[in-house]
Amino acid sequence: MIREIITYPNKLLKQKSQDVEVFNENIHVLLEDMYETMMSKNGIGLAAIQIAEPLNILIINLPNQDDKQVKEDVIEIINPKIVDKRGSTLYTEGCLSVPEYYEDVERAEWIKVEYHDRNGNLVTCEYDGLMAIAFQHECDHLKGELFIEKLSYLKRKKFEKEWKKKLKGKK
């Protein structure tokens, strides 16, 4: 089921998510909902809190070599932890909760992570490139943080001004 994506400045986005303790059918349904919702907006990543579920769950689906997003490539990540990180990289990020806004953000270039899959199995992985960037972006959502909080003071001020104007225009 496609769910509504909550957008900035909805206060729910500031909420800290909780660990999943039981890996049951409810979690599997939520993962499917997250997938359908993300694909409906052409996203490459989504955290559960973006559909108002404060659980430590995220999905990432990067395009493959043919630049296509296929469901087999979806990575379902539950209770993620970044256990090591190195380097730094700059990438122009966007977010389904801050639609149509893009800005450069600096993040670690390489990360080592641990998480559970949908059946509760522990997975250890190392990522770099866009996968590392997306993983860090989505993990921030679970802490109640958005990428716009990483902007410089002036860029953030400009963003707030533009965003207010945009919200007013929608009313």
Residues in contact with Co ion by the rule CB under 5 A: 95
Which residues, listed in sequence order, are joined to residue 71 by a DSSP beta bridge? none
Q: Given the complex with Co ion, which of 78 and 95 has the nearer CB atom?
A: 95
| Residue 121 CB, nearest approach to Co ion (Å) | 26
Q: Given the complex with Co ion, which of 95 and 133 has the nearer CB atom?
A: 95
Q: Given the complex with Co ion, which of 59 and 78 has the nearer CB atom?
A: 59
Active site residue: 4, 138, 149, 160, which one?
138
| Residue 137 CB, nearest approach to Co ion (Å) | 6
Could you confirm whether 4 is annotated as catalytic? Answer: no
Amino acid at 5: I
| Residue 164 CB, nearest approach to Co ion (Å) | 20
Q: How far is CA 116 from CA 40, 46, 106, 152, in A?
A: 25, 16, 26, 34
Cβ-closest position to Co ion: 95
Say how far apart CA 108 and CA 110 lie, in whole Å.
6
**If we measure between CA atoms, which residue out of 116, 34, 139 comes closest to residue 125?**
116
Say how far apart CA 116 and CA 111 lie, in whole Å.
16
Catalytic positions, please? 138
